[in-house]
A and B are shown apart, each in its own frame.
Chain A
Amino acid sequence: MSFTAKAKEIMNDKVDQLPLDILVWGAGKKGGPAYKKRVELRKRLKEHFGRADVKFSEEITKDPDLKETPFASADLLPHQRELWHLAACDVCIVLDASKGSGEEIAHFSGTLAAHKLLVFTDEAYKRVKSFPASLRRCGNQHFYSQDEFDSCNLIGRVLTLVRHVALAKLLQTTPN
């Protein structure tokens, strides 16, 4: 059996319809364009991956249905709750455009869930040495230009990378 056009169609469909848990971290409501981009990214992710659950961590924390769980428990510190969010998701897109998200990257890049982070950083910071080196070494970090940020290109790149994550998940959960 060759990899026919029909098989491509099936695989495309399966990848885009895979139930994924996606986190989007980044600037908060007062973050101006960075927050708008984050909201837009969530919208596009939801549109593209029809069965995905795309969340902001702050929404999970405020979800009354989850308040008795570690995901939103008032008994845990914010970074502890977010580690639970990260542990439960398939991929976490981090728009590295705010102080808070930078701190999240620095904190979580040392955890066993670090591989789930996909970090998007303005290329203006490409040579900043203080940024956690492990992320740069291991390919979690992607740089974007201001033009990409202003246009839809950045979101397109995120969608492509999330599709790669989805295919990896699909193949991992499929027995030979």
Chain B
Amino acid sequence: MIESLDLQRSERRRMLGGFSHRVRLSQPPEALAEAVLAARKFRELRGFASHSDELKVVEINRSVLTLDLTNVRLVRFCGHGPFPSDLLELSGDPWMSRRFLAGGDVFFERPVIADMPNPEIVEPYRRHLAALQQSERSLVVEKELQEASARRELMGILMNDDWLGMEVLFCLADCSEGIAISGLADKLQKGVDHLAGVLAQLVRRNAVDVQSGIFVCAEDGLSVVEQTKSLSQQESSGS
């Protein structure tokens, strides 16, 4: 039933801070029980040696079974192929070590404290690496937070005041050469003061550009207009 092995640190598992092991099955499992059985058999038959209770199934997705290796201390692969590149990547993790054994078997293990090398040698490197990883991750998380927040804010500007922001964008999209705020106020029959706040927000969110008092729809704004037109037209033609 087992077709191939694919050891990798998948994106999802990385989110969980662990390591996963994916087992591709030749046939889709009809039920989870079958897949779990396959995993257990795999362990028995292929020498997947670990602290037995810690082998966990985390995902069954059609023909791929993902196992949680986060708490597995020792894993042994009985194979004679080339050293898996994914494993090499894992071995770069300061918490992992690897060694080759005679006959092509590969072991890697998560060291316990007693197994750790001299901390005086390892610590500066590990702290440096951990700091780099942490800052890199923080930057990604922060970037996503800012983008999502900006997107939600833009949506709020478009929808608030009975979709005034969207109306402004549509109007600007119609005036390819741009328009002054007074002209926009006339077109929309709104007060200049009323529009000034919305325009400022749209400019801040890069949906509108302004030059010498002339407002034009920016690329982001045009994209919103096109998508909204498309949605409205779909609905109109459907009804």
Contacts and interface: CB of A to CB of B under 8 A. Distances in A.
Interface of A: 1-3, 6-8, 10-11, 13-15, 68-70, 73, 75-76, 80, 83, 87, 109-116, 134, 137-140, 160-161, 163-165, 167-168, 170-171, 174-176
B166 A3 contact: yes
Contacts of B155: 163-165, 167-168, 171
20 contacts: A2-B171, A3-B170, A6-B236, A10-B236, A11-B232, A15-B159, A76-B56, A76-B68, A110-B137, A110-B138, A111-B15, A114-B145, A134-B142, A138-B149, A160-B156, A164-B156, A168-B151, A168-B154, A174-B227, A176-B223
B200 interface: no
A83 B229 CA distance: 36
Interface residues of B, number: 48
A3 B159 contact: no
Interface in B184-239: 223-224, 226-232, 235-236
Contacts of A134: 138, 141-142, 145
Contacts of A6: 232, 236
Given A6-B236, A109-B141, A168-B151, 16 more contacts: A1-B170, A6-B232, A7-B228, A7-B232, A14-B231, A111-B141, A112-B15, A114-B145, A115-B145, A139-B149, A139-B152, A164-B153, A164-B155, A165-B155, A170-B231, A171-B224
Interface of B: 12, 15-16, 32, 56-60, 68, 137-138, 140-142, 144-149, 151-156, 158-159, 162-163, 166-167, 169-171, 174, 223-224, 226-232, 235-236
Contacts of A171: 155, 224, 227-228
A132 B102 CA distance: 50
Q: Interface on chain A toward B: helix, strand, loop, or mixed SS?
A: helix
Given A11-B228, A140-B145, A174-B231, A68 B163 contact: no
Given A3-B170, A87-B15, A114-B144, A163 B159 contact: yes
A110 B141 CA distance: 7
B198 to A, nearest CB: 13
A174 B225 CA distance: 11
Contacts of A163: 155, 159
Contact of B145 (A138, A160, A167): A138
Contact of B68 (A11, A75, A140): A75
Contacts of B152: 139, 161, 164-165, 168
A75 B163 contact: no
A7 B32 CA distance: 47
Q: Which residue, of B58, B145, B149, B151, has the highest number of chain A Cβ atoms within 10 A? A: B145
B170 A2 contact: yes
B156 A114 contact: no
Contacts of B231: 10-11, 14, 170, 174
A70 B15 CA distance: 14
Given A3-B228, A170-B231, A171-B227, A114 B15 contact: no
